[in-house]
Structure 1
Amino acid sequence: MDRLIYTSMTGANHTLNQQATVAHNLANASTTGYRSETNAFRAVPLYGDGLPTRAFVVDSTTGSDFTTGPIETTGRDLDVAVRGPGWITVQLDNGEEAYTRNGSLQVSPNGLLLTQNGLKVKGDAGVISVPPDTRVTIGVDGTVSTVPLNALPNTVAIVGRIKLVNPSEENLVKGADGLFRQKDGKEALADARVRLIDGALEGSNVNVVHEMVSMIALARQFDMQMKMLENADRNAQQASQIMVVRA
């Protein structure tokens, strides 16, 4: 009886957690460069006095889905999408670096190359600065070039190169801010094989139909676990009545 109660109770609790993950994925179905999160159940025995007859159900986050999202052409000079595996490096306010697939960039009033969320885009030699009154273009290898607005078109100046990396997916962990970092805390090395697509953005890799089906399945699973609790309670009451009658 205890095993049934503990299993259904913890299963219902973690089913709610999985529903929250699915809801989070659906909310980011249109977020540029978003990587959907995945979950899985696993059973953990409860050890204590007596035999380990009780078991908990634990929601084990298996990580993120690294499948490439759809590429959407925008024609904007500061929009870039990573072609295949790879990441764009950004620098956080504390100096640490993180990785994103969101290549919608902008130039701040101070001339810094930023993401749309205000994060500094990191280059091979540090933060990338852009001179004023220039047109910015980004090459497939991440090279950032500028052309003065009032100069000849062939007056091109290279101001930096975006740090493109391709660390092992097994060593990446997603933070609460949606950015990825290496589990060991080290900075990834630049990878010259990573290529960009200029004038394009990568969409979210969330499969809306799959997530909706998962939401329905989780709701049914929650109902089943609640019925198991009701059955366990009913069986306990009937067992108590039998013991009272025999006494």
Structure 2
Amino acid sequence: MDALIYTAMSGAERALRGQQVHANNLANMDTTGFRANLELSTSRPLSGYGYDDRHMADMQANAVTTRSGTMKSTGRELDVAIAGDGFFTVQGPTGEGYTRAGAITLDADGAMTVGGMPILGEGGPITLPIHTKVQIGQDGTVSILTPGTAQLQVVDKLKLVKAEASELTKNEAGLLVARDGQPLAADETVKVSSGHLEGSNVSAVEEMVATMSLNRTFEMQMKLFKASDSMAEAGNRLIGG
């Protein structure tokens, strides 16, 4: 009976935390380049003498799905989207991070940023001099037209990387990073589409179905908890005579 209580409470906690993961996904349905989080759980034996047959569920919400989102045309020269697999590289609070968000903006000094973070090229953060036109090529090459010139000049090339979903996790800033903590190497096969942005890859239907399933799981675990409590009371009455 005591083991059943642990099972029920662990299952209920896992369902509750799973709901939080899916609620966060739904809240970011309109976030450009957002990658949906996946809920994962593993079984962990409870430490302590006499607890060998009791296990708890460890919730993990650091896995992501890397399927593509819907690409939308914006016509803006600084908007870029990854065509196929791959990621942009930005300078996050703790080092390199990776994202599918490609709404690039320029700060007062001409530095290219995404979400307030510098976007990285092959030579580090990219800063554009005074220009009249910007062009981002399919291979990520950033070219500008300076005043008084008629030919585009290459400034840098976006650092584009590629990795499997199993190799990535999200950090506290919401950026994708390599699980081994090492920067990813640039990948020449990654291509971009200028004048487009990729939306979130969250499926509202999938998230709602998952939430409903977790609600039913939580209710079932609560019923098991009440049943184990009733059995414990009945046992105590028998022992008490």
Long gaps (5+) in structure 2? none
1:77 and 2:66 correspond: no
Counterpart residue number, 2:137:
139
Counterpart residue number, 1:196:
192
Give 1:51 shift: 6.3
TM-score (norm 1): 0.91
Q: Are the structure 2 counterparts of residues 125 and 17 from structure 1 closer, same or farther at C-alpha, using a change threshold of 3 Å?
A: same
Q: How does 1:1-247 map to 2 (within 5 A)?
A: 1-50=1-50, 52-61=52-61, 63-92=63-92, 96-115=95-114, 117-148=115-146, 151=148, 154-245=150-241
Determine the C-alpha separation between the residues in 2 that align with 1:54 and 1:193.
49
Q: Aligned AA for 1:103?
A: G
Long gaps (5+) in structure 1? none
Determine the C-alpha separation between the residues in 2 that align with 1:51 and 1:126.
53
Determine the C-alpha separation between the residues in 1 that align with 2:142 and 2:71.
21
Partner SS state of residue 98, structure 1: strand
TM-score (norm 2): 0.94
Tell me, yes or no, if the aligned pair for 2:38 and 2:61 is still in contact at 8 Å: yes
Instruction: Please report the RMSD computed on the Cα atoms of aligned residues, expressed in angstroms.
Output: 1.7
Give 1:151 shift: 4.1
User: Could you list the per-position Cα deviations for residues 41-83 of structure 1 after superposition, in whole angstroms to 9, with x for gaps in the alignment?
Assistant: 3333324323622221222346111111111111111110001
Determine the C-alpha separation between the residues in 2 that align with 1:236 and 1:205.
47
Q: Aligned AA for 1:70?
A: T
Please identify, of 233-242 and 99-108, the stretch whose mean Cα deviation from structure 2 is larger: 233-242
User: Could you list the per-position Cα deviations for residues 133-181 of structure 1 after superposition, in whole angstroms to 9, with x for gaps in the alignment?
Assistant: 4221111111111123x546x3211111111111343322211211111
User: Could you list the per-position Cα deviations for residues 70-110 of structure 1 after superposition, in whole angstroms to 9, with x for gaps in the alignment?
Assistant: 1111111111000111111112356x211111001011110
Q: Aligned AA for 2:96?
A: E
Partner SS state of residue 213, structure 1: helix
Q: Aligned AA for 2:55?
A: A
Q: Name the % identity.
A: 38
